[in-house]
Amino acid sequence: MTTSRNDAALIAVDWGTTNLRAYLLNAKGKILDHRSCPGGVMSVQDRNFEAPLLSVVGEWLAQAKLPLIAAGMIGSRQGWREAPYLPCPARIEVAAQQLTAVPFQDSQGQSHQLLIGAGVQCVDDSGLHDVMRGEETQLWGSDLSDGAVCILPGTHCKWAWMGKAGEIQKFRTYMTGELFALLTKHGILGRLMKPGQDDLAFKRGVLLGKNDSAHASHIIFSARTAGLMGTLAAESLSEYLSGILIGLEIGSSLKMTGALPEQIHLIGDDELCMRYAQALHAVDIQAVRSQSEATAGLWKLAQAAGCMKVSSP
Amino acid sequence: MTTSRNDAALIAVDWGTTNLRAYLLNAKGKILDHRSCPGGVMSVQDRNFEAPLLSVVGEWLAQAKLPLIAAGMIGSRQGWREAPYLPCPARIEVAAQQLTAVPFQDSQGQSHQLLIGAGVQCVDDSGLHDVMRGEETQLWGSDLSDGAVCILPGTHCKWAWMGKAGEIQKFRTYMTGELFALLTKHGILGRLMKPGQDDLAFKRGVLLGKNDSAHASHIIFSARTAGLMGTLAAESLSEYLSGILIGLEIGSSLKMTGALPEQIHLIGDDELCMRYAQALHAVDIQAVRSQSEATAGLWKLAQAAGCMKVSSP
């Protein structure tokens, strides 16, 4: 481990809302070491972003001066410095020319800079702005083929339509994860729910959401009436609601594009991707799990920016 | 006041989730006295529903044995006793035959009973159950003409299509009020919002919600991006979101029925009805404020049930 650390060429930082994950990479993108802490953007006190960053990367920086590159909510308005949003279609080569450098000092008073990657924006057919921050790096780090459609499930789930050579042609955000959490934790729907699994109820929700996507705030209420009327058990209601919300994404994307492809790629957390695969299966779409190492996109970005540390010969 | 109280013929109780309001009525439905307390269904301890009820009606009952009739969430599963749901089309004459009697004693040990009115249910074109409890009594207490369409704004907003002679033909629930509260109080959208009024942003939201009702969980996210991109001021975002959610109701109802009438009736809280009137105006529908005294429906229901106290000659 100590030997390989001498090859260190880059520190890649995945800095989101709740977590800060840092990776020590060699020039080929291999992970030599990694550290994390719960120092996400929302938990940082008095805008002291140095503190959580140094707590994870301080030891690495004490051994060698290394470039640091980051993506995620750290570049948002609530983050350390607001990094720009690149317009779609968006390519990694352009992002590499627009890194936002934030200078900081380590505990020895040495100067460093964190290079924050840009987010991506697009405007939909109704003139609405949409934004992503962090997901673009996952897309660029993946092995998606030209023309692929990819879903990145999460609090604010993203559907991305890829162009050629890793270009993000357009994308669309759905508030699925946040709506599910709000409705079940703070709302009246949660009161009738009991923990449980029910694949059929989930599928029923998916089909309903897809077919009746024009009636979202009405059909969501059926997760209450199905409980009141006993058409679904308390243990099935949460699965049903989850299905409805994912089905709404499918219905909306279908209405927007006229047709969905035979297969859709999934990037993200295993459990969430399983759930989306199940939903896609219910509407006869093949789900393909795409690889995207957390560090691959950041490493490619650093490489395109030419900011990797060059090892001494 | 004391004189008129001798005419008392009925105690009408509007017992909802957060409040308990009781009215002393004469045989003609005139309000002789009224009392209220925060003893809504959700605040009742250990299912001791007698306590808040007696705290407001105890003095009236001590003076005369009177029939008591109630509507609202007190008849729900979380209430005192679950009263049935009448199927649509639903008429007050049928409801009057299906009152649920809950016996209780006052502090002197005298026996009384609270007659709880039935709720109403219907099944939509997708086979989804829908329910109302309390709103049916407001509809029956109103002066709606045959064939009227009526909106009752609230946490779970109801759209009702009336048949002949006060018959509720069908209705539809939208979770507008709950979604607005959840998204702004507990969700990320609230973080960019500042208090303020903006009629134009509201109208923009209404039109977007109506036209893009197939994309609800996507367009709601635009209440964040509009703030991030500066296309709306922080003071306008809440109005914009409110517009979107009400617009979604209009879009959904329009898609369901094919056409909306030239005028729609509104029953409920002044401020909410003003907001809906503004939304309807934005889509060229005339809003008509319908009168519905809180007590009128309960009085009509008691009259149809023949349970009013008959005064001595």
Mutation choice for A interface testing from B88, B215, B225, B231 by most A CBs within 10 A: B215
The whole-angstrom separation of Cα A62 and Cα B83 is: 71
pLDDT recorded at residue A311: 67
The whole-angstrom separation of Cα B124 and Cα B104 is: 38
| pLDDT, averaged across chain A | 94
Q: Is the pLDDT of residue A309 over 90?
A: no
Question: Cα A237 to the chain's mean position, in Å?
Answer: 27
Residue pLDDT, tens place only, B80-101: 999 999 999 999 999 999 999 9
Phi (first) and psi of residue A77, to 5 degrees: -60, -30
The answer to whether the peptide bond before residue B87 is cis (omega within 30 degrees of 0) is no
pLDDT recorded at residue B208: 98
Residues of A in contact with B155 (CB under 8 A): 188
User: Can you list the domains of chain B with their CATH numbers?
Assistant: 2-121+297-305 (3.30.420.300), 174-289 (3.30.420.310)
Q: Is the pLDDT of residue A126 over 50?
A: yes
Report the b/e string of B70-103 with b at 16+ CB within 10 A: bbbbbbbebbbeebebbebbbbbeebbeebbebe
Q: Is the pLDDT of residue B231 over 80?
A: yes
pLDDT recorded at residue B4: 65
C-beta atoms of A228 and B131 within 8 A: yes
Q: Looking at chain A, which residue has its C-alpha nearest residue B219?
A: A128
Alpha-carbon distance B59 to nearest alpha carbon in chain A (angstroms): 35
pLDDT recorded at residue A77: 87
The whole-angstrom separation of Cα B312 and Cα A178 is: 62
Neighbouring-strand partners of residue B33: B24
Tokens linked to B78: 């979380």
Nearest to residue A208, comparing CAs of A176, A174, A247? Answer: A247
Nearest to residue B179, comparing CAs of B116, B127, B242? Answer: B242
Q: Helix or strand or coil: residue B259?
A: coil
Q: Looking at chain A, which residue has its C-alpha nearest residue B156?
A: A221
Q: Is the pLDDT of residue B141 over 60?
A: yes
| Distance set, CA A171 to CA A88, A92, A160, A167, B67 (Å) | 9, 16, 4, 11, 62
For every residue of B192-258, which 3-state class applies, written as one string? HCCCCCCHHHHHHHHHHHHHCHHHHHHHCCHHHHHHHCCCCCHHHHHHHHHHHHHHHHHHHHHHHHC
Residue pLDDT, tens place only, A172-207: 999 999 999 999 999 999 999 999 999 999 999 999
Q: Which of A33-42, A107-116, A146-155, A278-287 has the lowest mean pLDDT?
A: A33-42
Q: Looking at chain B, which residue has its C-alpha nearest residue A191?
A: B78
The minimal CB distance from A252 to the residues B78, B131, B214 is found for: B214
The minimal CB distance from A222 to the residues B129, B186, B216 is found for: B129
The whole-angstrom separation of Cα A243 and Cα A218 is: 15
Residues near A59 by beta carbon (within 8 Å), at least 6 away in sequence: none
Q: Which long-range contacts (CB under 8 A, 24 or more apart) does B154-160 make?
A: B154/B268, B154/B269, B154/B272, B155/A188, B155/B181, B156/A188, B156/A221, B157/B249, B158/B132, B159/B249, B159/B253, B160/B132, B160/B135
Q: Is the pLDDT of residue A4 over 70?
A: no
Alpha-carbon distance B1 to nearest alpha carbon in chain A (angstroms): 41
C-beta atoms of B217 and A179 within 8 A: yes
Q: Helix or strand or coil: residue A292?
A: coil
C-beta atoms of A129 and B183 within 8 A: no
The whole-angstrom separation of Cα B60 and Cα A134 is: 65
Q: Looking at chain B, which residue has its C-alpha nearest residue A128?
A: B222
The minimal CB distance from A225 to the residues B131, B183, B191 is found for: B131
Q: Looking at chain A, which residue has its C-alpha nearest residue B159?
A: A218
Chains A and B form CB pairs within 8 A to the count of 136
pLDDT bucket at B311, cuts 50 / 70 / 90: low
Residues of B in contact with A245 (CB under 8 A): 217
C-beta atoms of A221 and B156 within 8 A: yes
Q: Phi/psi class of residue A101: alpha, beta or left (left: φ > 0; alpha: ψ in -120 to 50)?
A: beta
The whole-angstrom separation of Cα A265 and Cα A256 is: 18
Residues of B in contact with A191 (CB under 8 A): 78
Give the global pTM: 0.93
Taking residues B116-142, report their average pLDDT.
95
Helix axis angle for A237-257 and A199-211, nearest 10°, is 30
**Angle B18-B23-B29 from CA coordinates, rounded to 5°:** 135
The whole-angstrom separation of Cα A257 and Cα B169 is: 37
Nearest to residue A243, comparing CAs of A232, A258, A259, A256? Answer: A232
Tokens linked to B199: 């009629």
Question: What is the identity of the amino acid at B151?
Answer: I
The minimal CB distance from A217 to the residues B77, B216, B228 is found for: B216
Q: Looking at chain B, which residue has its C-alpha nearest residue A184?
A: B182
The whole-angstrom separation of Cα B189 and Cα B79 is: 33
Q: Is the ipTM of this complex over 0.85?
A: yes
| Distance set, CA B247 to CA A95, A211, B66, B220, B276 (Å) | 37, 20, 45, 11, 10
Q: DSSP letter string over B133-164?
A: SSHHHHHHTS-PPTT-EEEE-STTEEEEEE-S
**Angle B214-B218-B220 from CA coordinates, rounded to 5°:** 100
The minimal CB distance from A128 to the residues B175, B225, B252 is found for: B225
C-beta atoms of B188 and A178 within 8 A: yes
Cα torsion B226, B228, B230, B234 to 10°: value is: 80
Number of helical H runs and strand E runs in chain A = 11, 14
Taking residues A110-122, report their average pLDDT.
97
Q: Looking at chain B, which residue has its C-alpha nearest residue A176?
A: B217
Q: Is the pLDDT of residue A313 over 50?
A: no
Q: DSSP letter string over B86-109?
A: EESSB-HHHHHTTPEEEEEE-TT-
Q: Are strands A111-116 and A68-71 parallel, antiparallel or unpaired?
A: parallel
Residues near B313 by beta carbon (within 8 Å), at least 6 away in sequence: none
C-beta atoms of B251 and A214 within 8 A: yes
Do A266 and A149 meet the contact criterion of CB atoms below 8 Å apart?
A: no
Report chain A's terminal Cα–Cα distance, integer Å: 21
Residues near A218 by beta carbon (within 8 Å), at least 6 away in sequence: A212, B124, B128, B130, B172, B173, B174, B175, B252
Do A241 and A188 meet the contact criterion of CB atoms below 8 Å apart?
A: no
The whole-angstrom separation of Cα A166 and Cα A298 is: 14
C-beta atoms of B219 and A128 within 8 A: yes
pLDDT recorded at residue A1: 45
Residues of B in contact with A84 (CB under 8 A): none
Q: Where do the H-state alpha helices sit in A41-108?
A: 50-63, 92-96
pLDDT recorded at residue A294: 74
